Each structure stands twice: as structure tokens, then as C-alpha cells.
Amino acid sequence: MGIETTFDIAYDSDEEARLIARFSSTYTGAKIIENAFVTMANDIINSAVVVDYGFKKIRHAPLEEDNLSALEIDEEAQGVSVATTTTVGDLTTMTTPEGY
């Protein structure tokens, strides 16, 4: 078997009083647990709030193929011309769909 050593430590009353004053808590174990649960409950209550604003909601009709008539007609047939102009420095370029 191995060697076993046991020490008994006894603090002086003044030293023990200073250690208690420095490191002890004024709360009991039950109070510490209660405070922890109250803090957790408040965190849960404050984070689980779902806000739903119903102010000025606009209801739209569902998007259907009939609503997309602008995509069915060719731009030339509508008399619409699409062009973009790009200017970089002194160079100006005009782009049209026919240019592609």
C-alpha cells in the first residue's frame, strides 16, 4: 500500500473572520438559486416577445399569369424602345436590345 498523509488546518479566529469578510456572501444558498431563476425567467420573458404590427397592411391579389400581360407582348409591337447610355470619361456608348 502507499503512504497516506493527512493534515488538519485550523485558522486563527482573526484570520477566519477576515476570510469570511472578504470572500463570503450575504446570500444563503436558497437565495442565490432563487436569484438565478428569477434572472433566467426575466431573460426568457423579454426575449420571447413576438411583435406583430397590423398597421396599414396592404393585401395584394395573388400573382397570376394573366397579370403578366406586359411580358407577353413584344416591345416593338407596343411601340416601346429600350436603350441605355453609358459614359466613361470621353467615351459614350449606347446599347439597344437589337445590339445583342
Lowest mean pLDDT among 23-27, 64-68, 72-76: 72-76
State yes or no: pLDDT of 99 exceeds 70: no
Cα gap 51→48, rounded to integer Å = 10
How confident is the model at residue 33, as a pLDDT? 85
pTM above 0.75, yes or no: no
Length of the chain: 100
Cα gap 12→20, rounded to integer Å = 12
Element housing 92 (H / E)? strand 91-95
